[in-house]
Chains A and B, each alone.
Chain A
Amino acid sequence: MKVSLFITCVCDMVYPTVGKHTVDILERVGCEVDFPTAQTCCGQPAFNSGYLDQSKKAMKQMMRAFEHSNYVVGPSGSCVGMLREYPKIFAGDEVWEKRAIDLANKSFELTEFLVDILGVVDVGSTFTGKVTYHPSCHMTRILGVKHAPIKLLQHIKGIDLVELPMKEDCCGFGGTFAIKNAAISTEMATEKSQHVSETEAHYLVGGDMACLMNIGGRMNREGKKVEIIHIAEILNWN
């Protein structure tokens, strides 16, 4: 099966290893992975800030970039969630609506793709350690991906998976919200950090690097020793 990787701008620049693990996993389960280099950012930073025209420029670029892909798979619930919103955003646009629907229909978040499309729940990973999982907001509520990551995590050999209290609560990232309303955002991150501490887990796993960057950045500043790991990395652990 041919799969195009949608790396997301955050992973491309800041967390490239997440992309490497994603490629590894996809290849291990039998996919042939390519990387359309015309891809940039899904447009969410501008879209969520209310800059529709600016965000559409990014979105069109993404539609062009993945024009010829069969499947588009990305390691982020939020960024893939944005792609899925394209049809709503381009509704009524004679040129772009069709292309938006096409991209939305073939785009999947990594765990969703593994479990729901490929039917894989065990990717052959082994990981010893106490782990808790933060189900990010857009992954669960925009994409509706709630069970796939859990199923995959439960099949990791040796994992000690503990539930995060109030797990469905936002970590306070919210893109420009973290800057514009930094004080509120910090309180939300602090609360999330407390909940992570309550689990006594050593590792915090998530499917969205931006959220992990926020929680991890706060925990680091608080001097906590919890490590953040993207789900692709823990699924590729041996």
Chain B
Amino acid sequence: MGIQISNETYKERVKKGLEDRFMRNAVAEAQERLKTNRVLSEEGLGNWEEWRTLGEEIRSHTIEHLDYYLEQLSDQVVKRGGNVFFAQTAKEATDYINNIVKQKNGQKVVKAKSMVTEEIGLNAVLQQEGVEVVETDLGEWILQLDEDPPSHIVAPALHKDRERIREVFSEQRAYNGTSQPEDLTLFAREQLRKDFLSADIGITGCNFAVAESGTVTLVTNEGNARLATSLPDTHIAVMGMERIVPTWEELDVLVSLLTRAAVGQKLTSYITSLTGPRLEGEIDGPSEFHLVIVDNGRSKILGSEFQSALHCIRCAACINVCPVYRHIGGHAYGSIYPGPIGAVITPLLDGYEKHEELPYASSLCAACTEACPVKIPLHELLIKHRQVITEENPSLSEKMMMNGFAEWASHPAAYKLSTKMARPLLAPWIKSEKIKNGPGPLKAWTTTRDFPAPNKQSFRSWFQKRQKGEDK
């Protein structure tokens, strides 16, 4: 599938989102709950700002020295009997994984939730080769059965309700139970247990790799990542190249930030740290371990004014506070990465041409920046995107308007004149001090909202008269 999840235009996607009442209710409720949990868990620490600062400090240092830490990581993985493949492109990554699966004569792959494997479109590649690929995270499994892309990076099936999930299970898996989440979940457990026991290969993402020891750490609640890395004989972990920490001490900090920011938990049920394949005498765990480190456009971000976007730890805190996301939902972004962080990284990874509207899908309210546990200035990065777009591919009418703005705002005389002229110019549209059906760009506003008429007297002219003693 890749990063782009839709061929519809931005406008169509937004319209669809706005019209989906169920989705909007579900998202609003989820945001409320996730946000409350997050805030409570942050307050519980008493010094959240210090934690954020530490998180930012660690992320900046690590990304600034990424080549060093990746080298250390790969050396350590090999020392422990694992293999490391550096993939510049999505294709290089999927080719390599595909080859491993073939070499192992793999028939069935169990996958634990991973955004980077969505990003490189891994499932489609393997399925084309006749390999059965089973997503084992409950949310991802639901989406896989329904052939639907994720709409949230932590809770991928957020947009579906229990009734729809029951339908999907019954259509695809002959389920005949109720729509109670407990029953649906139990059914998934029973179904997927068989897959875990019969899979040849487990594929996971990687929340954080620890450079000093060559360790891959997975953060989950369901236990599927543990199963996928305990039962199959081969484990392939796929990581975005920036998902790395120097040592175990930084792992602690970032995991603590991640679980709190994502779901308000002190730690999730399972934090699983894997170093190489199983050791001599061990029975479970894979006999073969591969780490695939993916660039896929990330290196272009390094050294640019967007570098801090690579600090992201994929917690979705920004998504959970974003009012735009609340109203349009994840699919409207047209990317597997939705919300503010999606609007920042999607154009960087997948090009402006396909995603030019995303940087504008924000009121710049900065709720995202405030929520980010590693202090990425998300709303500022959105403005930077807009700067790139206006420099490279401006809309001519808008540019003319902005040139006009610059002249107006840099010449007090012109500005002063406009304070006198605005009202007469708009006079045809003013009715009882309101504009209800404005011209030009005002139309978009006045279709749904009244706009006030410019005042008969500007402040500056009042102040001038007041100083002359003419007015009080």
Give A residues with C-beta under 8 Å from B. 5, 7, 9, 11-16, 19-20, 23, 35, 37-41, 43, 45-55, 57-58, 60-61, 65, 137-138, 141-142, 168-170, 172-175, 177-189, 191, 213-214, 216-218, 220-221
Contacts and interface: CB of A to CB of B under 8 A. Distances in A.
B468 interface: no
Contact of B459 (A11, A172, A175, A216): A11
A12 B327 contact: no
A45 B386 CA distance: 12
Nearest to B423: A13
Contacts of A179: 441, 444-445
A5 B328 CA distance: 40
Complex A-B, nearest 6 residue pairs according to Cβ-Cβ distance, in ascending order: A50-B386, A174-B363, A58-B409, A170-B365, A217-B449, A54-B406
B463 A19 contact: yes
10 contacts: A14-B454, A37-B464, A41-B408, A50-B390, A57-B409, A181-B14, A185-B363, A188-B324, A217-B450, A221-B449
Contacts of A38: 412
Interface string B334-372: 000000000000000000000000011111111101100
Interface residues of B, number: 64
A16 B367 contact: no
A20 to B, nearest CB: 7
A198 B313 CA distance: 37
A187 B18 contact: yes
A46 B405 contact: yes
Interface stretch (B160-168, B258-266, B396-404): B396-404
A182 B444 contact: yes
Nearest to B467: A35
Nearest to A136: B365
A184 B365 CA distance: 14
B460 interface: yes
B447 interface: yes
B88 interface: no
A107 B390 CA distance: 30
| Secondary structure call for the B interface | helix
A81 to B, nearest CB: 9
Interface in B71-105: none
B415 A40 contact: yes
Nearest to B435: A217
B178 interface: no
Contact of A141 (B362, B370, B415): B370
Contact of B449 (A49, A175, A181, A186): A186
Contact of B389 (A5, A37, A50, A180): A50
B26 to A, nearest CB: 15
Contacts of B389: 50
A169 B402 contact: no
B451 interface: yes
B387 A20 contact: no
Interface-central residue, B18, B328, B406, by most chain A CB under 10 Å: B406
Contacts of B444: 178-180, 182
A180 B399 CA distance: 14
B154 interface: no
Interface string B1-41: 00000000000001100100000000000000000000000
Contacts of B412: 37-40, 61, 65
Contacts of A175: 364
B419 interface: yes
B403 A172 contact: no
Contacts of A16: 455, 457-459, 462
A20 B462 contact: yes
B348 to A, nearest CB: 15
